[in-house]
Each structure stands twice: as C-alpha cells, then as structure tokens.
C-alpha cells in the first residue's frame, strides 16, 4: 500500500475540521476528497469505503450530492470501480456505509 502523502495529511486535517463542525455534509465532502486522493494513490478499496461513508453521511441528513461535486465523485467512483471490479467495489462501498460518520477516524 502506498504511504500517506502530504496531500493525504492535509485532507485528513480537513476531515478533522469537518467533524468539528458537526455537519454531516461537510464530513461527506471531506470523505469524497480523501477518496479521490486514495484512488490516485492506488488505494482503491479504501477509496470505495470512503465513498460509502460519504453517501451514508449525506443520507443521514437527506442531503444529496451537490451538482457541482457530482462530476468529481463520479470520476473517482468510475476509476475505483474499474480498478477493483463491481463486486469488490460494492462490498467496500457497503462497508464504508456501515460505519458512516464514525469511519476513518484518525
């Protein structure tokens, strides 16, 4: 597995700040940003779990993915799914959704 980069650390700080707000939408955005970084680093299963956690966070408050973010999330989703396959993607996405907002605490 690829070790964390400076970008990962900045995004983890962003997740911590989002958590501090108590706003699940902010946490979802942070999860989605981290998913993109993990996907770029080849950590596809972790990226899928983050996407699942983001979806769960949004669902918890009835907040759909904003149109302005949709393209980025769809690109990450397609890249991750293409890399690990539909079955493994679905399993990882579900695992992320199961832990939701409590996921990926640093």
The model's pLDDT over 2-48, given as tens digits with 9 standing for 90+, comes to 555 676 677 778 788 888 888 999 999 999 999 999 999 999 999 99
Tell me how far apart the alpha carbons of residues 48 and 13 are, in angstroms, rounded to a whole number. Answer: 20
- Give the mean pLDDT of the chain: 88
The residue among 100, 1, 88 whose CA lies nearest residue 48 is 88
Q: Tell me: pLDDT of 88 over 80.
A: yes
For residue 5, the 8-state DSSP code is -
Question: Quick check: 97 pLDDT over 50?
Answer: yes
Segment 94-102 mean pLDDT: 82
Q: Against a cut of 0.95, is the pTM above it?
A: no
Coil, helix or strand at residue 53: helix
């Amino acid at each position: 597995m690829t070790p964390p980069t400076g970008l990962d650390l900045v995004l983890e700080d962003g997740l911590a700040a989002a958590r501090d707000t108590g706003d699940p939408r902010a946490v979802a955005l942070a999860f989605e940003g981290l998913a993109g970084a993990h996907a770029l680093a080849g950590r596809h299963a972790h990226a899928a779990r983050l996407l699942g956690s983001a979806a769960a966070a949004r669902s918890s408050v009835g907040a759909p993915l904003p149109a302005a973010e949709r393209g980025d999330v769809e690109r990450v989703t397609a890249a991750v799914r293409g890399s690990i396959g539909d079955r493994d993607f679905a399993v990882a996405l579900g695992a992320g959704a199961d832990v939701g907002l409590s996921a990926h605490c640093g």
